[in-house]
Amino acid sequence: MTSSRLSTGSDLRVRPLIRGDKPRLAEIFLIARRHAFPWILPSRFKLNDFKRETEGETILVAEIDGGIAGFASVWEPDAFIHHLYVDPTMHRRGIGRALIAGLVEICNKPLELKCQTNNKPAMAFYRRLGFQTADSGVSDMGPWIRFRAPVER
């Protein structure tokens, strides 16, 4: 996996999930979704959602200076990013970008994901990385857009 030094002097590392990570990842999953989806009642999100929502997926963990800062989960057969969440106190430090780079390393085709259109920061993030819009739809959380990573040539 990847490791790099951030401009803040911190060490950022992306690695595969280990069992001991799950409590912290469940906490990030809860906090980050409540932060990212303010139009959804916070009570909809539960601490035990993480296990159910990531079942069967490959999970990468981002660490800064040995502490867990975020994660991404991907359904590998489709290279579909199901979740990418960073602790809101750690935003804008390159963590999401590093997680995407880690997913690119393990998937053998371009990544795809769905993003809620009301989540403007996430929409802008994926566009900055060169993801292109594909189709769109509506879920119980509201309208979404499917993004596809650019094809490497």
Any idea where the domains of the chain sit in the sequence? Answer: 3-110
Instruction: Tell me the C-alpha distance between 12 and 49, whole Å.
Output: 26
Fold of the 3-110 domain: Aminopeptidase (3.40.630)
Q: How much is the pTM?
A: 0.90
The predicted structure's pLDDT at residue 99: 97
DSSP H helices, 5-94, are: 22-36, 49-53
Task: Let me know: does 6 contact 93? Beta carbons within 8 Å.
Answer: yes
Task: Let me know: does 25 contact 71? Beta carbons within 8 Å.
Answer: yes
- Report the share of the chain in percent with pLDDT over 90: 81
Residue type, 72: A
Task: Let me know: does 116 contact 37? Beta carbons within 8 Å.
Answer: yes
Tell me the pLDDT tens digit for each residue of 91-150: 989 999 999 999 999 998 999 999 999 999 999 999 999 999 989 999 988 999 999 998
Tell me the pLDDT tens digit for each residue of 54-91: 999 999 999 998 899 999 999 999 999 999 999 999 99
